[in-house]
Amino acid sequence: MAIMIKSRQEIALLREAGRIVGQTYEVLRPHIKAGISTAELDKIAEDFIRSKDAIPVYKGYGARAARAGQPAVPPFPATICVAINNVICHGIPSSTQYLKDGDIIGIDIGVRYKGWVGDSCATFAVGKLDDEAQKLVDTARRSMELGIEQARAGNHMGDIGAAIQSYAEAQGFSVVRDLVGHGVGHSVHEDPQVPHIGRAGTGLKLRTGMVFTIEPMINVGKPQTRLLADRWTICTADGSLSAQFEHTLAVTDGAPELLTLP
């Protein structure tokens, strides 16, 4: 594991990239309503990101040739990842996929600016949610916040996962195990990995200058996942709702610093 410790100057540049991510959500927010297609949301996001002289980091990401027993993975074709209802993450925007009242939609945004990456995700309500969906969204947000509170120098990675897991499970939900947070720097995926389950006091010791995401994916049903034929979209295996929130943060000498705020 090669963990890059960032300097204050590098964190300032990561904050600039993250701010563009945060601003993109503010641009998207008034458009997230019934009747809009996810492709329209994608275009709004891309146009804004490029207007800030930044690059959508997901677009073209992740192409992989066929491996033994595994089909090839095409490059991701869009600026944002969308996750409606039972989709956990990495859904592809489409001109035939329209939002409906009562949906929840997770929108994941990554940008590269001046060589540094910002990465964040938020789940939005489309119209009025039923009680279960609202509780899920609230729990996913609070789970992320509790994980962030543990991201302090001297704590351990397991403290983050334990805080998330104990809270989400106490609310009657499950935490996805197969997908984790990650370091962020010049690349959107660096060491360390950040599990969203764990045991307090275990795992990697956190140090000032680490930069990574905390991005718990919380399911109404069981934590198992299912990959669709497009090789990108990951859904809940049991068809239950899923919600996610994510920030990129820097570990400091005090409280963690969120880098993906507008």
Binding-site entries for a divalent metal cation: 108, 119, 182, 215, 246
Please report, for the chain, how many H helices and E strands are present, in that order. Answer: 4, 15
Cβ burial of 77 (10 Å; 0-12, 13-18, 19+) is: middle
Question: Annotated binding site, which residues?
Answer: 90, 108, 119, 182, 189, 215, 246
Alpha-carbon gap, residue 213 to 195, rounded angstroms: 10
Structure tokens given for 74: 């095409």
Location of structure tokens 């929840």? 104
Question: Annotated binding site for substrate, which residues?
Answer: 90, 189
Residues 6+ apart with CB under 8 A from 61: 75, 76, 188
Residue 195 · residue 157 · CB < 8 Å: yes
Q: Cis before residue 75, ω within 30 degrees of 0?
A: no
Strands 217-219, 174-175: pairing is antiparallel
Nearest to 198 by CA among 171, 169, 161, 234: 161
196-214 burial code (b ≥16 CB/10 A, e <16): bbbeeeebbebeebbbbbb
- Residue 220 carries which side chain, given as an amino acid letter? V
**3-state secondary structure (DSSP) of residue 135:** helix
